[in-house]
A and B are shown apart, each in its own frame.
Chain A
Amino acid sequence: MTGPAAVRTGVVVVGAGLAGWTVADTLRTEGYAGDVTVVGAEEHAPYDRPPLSKDFLAGRVGRPDLTLGGGSDDVTWRLGRRAVALDVPTRTVTLDDASTVTGDHVVLATGAAARRLPGPHGAVHTVATLDDAERLRAAVRPGTRAVVAGAGFLGLEVAASLTGLGADVTVVCAAAGPLLREIGPDASAAVLRLHEGHGVRVLTGARVSGVGGPRGRRRGRTSVDGPSGPVAVVLEDGREIAADLVVVAAGADPASAWLAGSGLRLDGGVVCDDAGLAAPGVHAVGDCAVWAGERCSHWTRTVRQARRVAAVVAHGRPPEADAEPDYVWSDQYDARLQLAGSLRGDETSEVVCADGGLFVVFRSGDEEVAAFALNQSRQLMRWRKTHRRRPAAERIPA
């Protein structure tokens, strides 16, 4: 075989996670007939991430169950290859084996990288990838003392899953309550009670500043057989918590640094207009992208963005604007949390019902802009139906 070659193709998708896979899948279902090449840094076939902190971590589903499946046969997958540069005028992507791929369209979907904390090898975990989740699952036994740094959706799901595995869990929450900014004080208090009711200690108004303690014997990049030894999790206020492992669930930074020097504007991700366009012939979707000043890491919005961009590329014109409110759900223990819409922080809130759960409606002036449900799926579904702003006939097909 000759060395790495320059390949010309119709669409180049950089990133083979949910966003990249959805772009490729939608291109084909929309009838796009040109070549489609997807480049992905991870070696695994594209997989769905939300179960990593829930059913997968809990041991209820396995690797094959996560694979994003079906269709997409007529797509070239370059997995285990990282993109290192983009030339915008020629829409040429350079990969880490020095080969290049050029497209009529480039869609950037490189996602985000979990923030990390330095600490003894083996004891500090993140839950961003399949490999991360397998490593964490292997490190937990009944009685394992786990500290989760971060009380967003991911941290709370991890806390619930680890509790289910018998771990002794402490959550370190920077805000005055878990998910306070996302769901408001009433809902945050209910979520706090939910976790405390399962024996989780939640330290609010606290941040982890570092992890110290005896270093385990280094075993390289592969999974260790178990904890490397007790560690001390140090908080900014000086308190120390003894632990066997730490899970960092403190957000993720967009994986857009590789685009430095490409000429694309980078500001908390790839800066795009309200339809994901970053430059002529270049779109960005998902965790690496900022659409009209906003970056959202939730599954539903990522899929909508990816489908919308694929429809634009396939048909050469945008579909009707999608004005449906955001939607995110989170399963913690046996509880389902759901949030429709999003809060800026200046809304008024009204607890509509609290029997057997919680349903809160948020208003900006007189307009209902968001709703939160804890075990009130039916009410939340009704709210979403009532507050949809586009007719069903203009739904973007899969």
Chain B
Amino acid sequence: MHRLCSLSDLTPGEGLRVDSVAPPVAVFLAEDGTVHAIDDTCTHQDASLAEGWLEDGAVECPLHESRFCLRSGVPDGGPARGAVRVHRAEVVDGEVLVELSTAAPCLPPGVVSA
């Protein structure tokens, strides 16, 4: 598993973009205290979902308001059609660890996996 960040790096209700993996991952601390990790790049256009609007178990892309479910990665309510990859996240001793998905990332046009 990868260590992405410390729990103390996260703000409740907001996301954090982690660039130490490619493609980058967004880590969210939901209002209910759960931690989620998904690919950071919106599947519709190059935008960081870590900067998106987190609410009701979904994050809304800051550009066109596609809403991605944090559990399934499936988009709803916007132009995005591809699901964003979801990674299994765990908090161990105050550190956020993640098992990165082995599926191919769904990246938008113009963005290549580093």
Contact = CB atoms under 8 A, between A and B. Distances in A.
A381 B110 contact: no
B109 A62 contact: yes
Contacts of A48: 79
Contacts of A68: 79
A45 B48 CA distance: 28
B64 A299 contact: yes
Contacts of A70: 81
Contacts of A64: 109
Contacts of B79: 48, 68-69
B65 A55 contact: no
Interface stretch (B2-10, B19-27, B51-59, B88-96): B51-59
A300 B65 CA distance: 9
Contacts of B14: 378, 382
A270 B81 CA distance: 32
A145 interface: no
Of listed A51, A64, A70, A398, residue having the most chain B CB within 10 A: A398
Interface string B30-69: 0000000000000001101001110110000011110000
Interface in A373-398: 377-378, 381-382, 384-385, 392, 395, 397-398
B110 A377 contact: no
A303 B64 CA distance: 9
B64 A377 contact: no
Interface string A43-72: 000001001000100001110110011100
A381 B51 CA distance: 7
Nearest to A62: B109
Contacts of A397: 76-77
B52 A392 contact: no
Contact of B110 (A61, A299, A300): A61
B78 to A, nearest CB: 7
A377 B48 contact: yes
Contacts of B64: 299-300, 303
A333 interface: no
A378 B11 CA distance: 11
Interface in A223-258: none
Given A299-B64, A384-B53, A392-B56, A69 B81 contact: yes
Interface string A289-303: 000000000011001
Nearest to B65: A300
A77 B48 CA distance: 34
Interface in A343-362: none
21 contacts: A60-B109, A61-B109, A65-B108, A65-B109, A68-B79, A69-B79, A69-B81, A300-B64, A300-B65, A303-B64, A329-B62, A329-B63, A378-B14, A378-B51, A381-B52, A382-B14, A385-B55, A392-B55, A392-B56, A398-B76, A398-B78
Interface of B: 14, 45-46, 48, 51-53, 55-56, 62-65, 76-79, 81, 108-110
